[in-house]
Structure 1
Amino acid sequence: MYTRTETGVMVIKDGAAWGIVYKDGQVAQYGWLHPSDKNVEIYKRSSCRVPTDVLLHNSPCKEEMSCAVVVPVKRTINIECI
């Protein structure tokens, strides 16, 4: 078995985490997901100090992010060969 661990921060709001939501299966759009979802982004602490750090400059989501918080996390993935 192999174990991979990622550490960093997640942007959390009302129990949901900021991540990639695939609307049509191909084009990536961002939105709120369950924190355990594999599409939730884990950001480096140095590049994400406030929630709006993860957005593009002109993003329409800035107001939505004002209620979010940055939370330190560690995600461990176990991979087992069968």
Structure 2
Amino acid sequence: MDQISHSKLSDVILDECSSNKVSLETELSETLYNKMKDFVLSNPTWDQYKLINSALATFLVQNGCTDENVSEIYLNQLFTPSKSF
């Protein structure tokens, strides 16, 4: 979790299904940062990159995105078991 700086998230892979990668830097509220950190620490199969990919894919699909790569990320995370936080 050291890779996540307080209130910033950098080097997020937006499309884990292809070789094209884009880095993203954004500010997060302290609450979101702490909840993301807690989730990642308590779920060893997840990391901050997978969490952000999942969140973005879910948002995009729920808002009408029909891209196959985004749908694949969304569907993969639906069927990945994890504890809820």
Query: What TM-score do the two structures reach when normalised by structure 2?
Result: 0.27
TM-score (norm 1): 0.27
Higher relative contact order at CA 8 Å, sep ≥6: structure 1 or structure 2? Answer: 1
Q: Higher helix share goes to which structure?
A: 2
Whichever of the two has the greater Rg, that structure is: 1
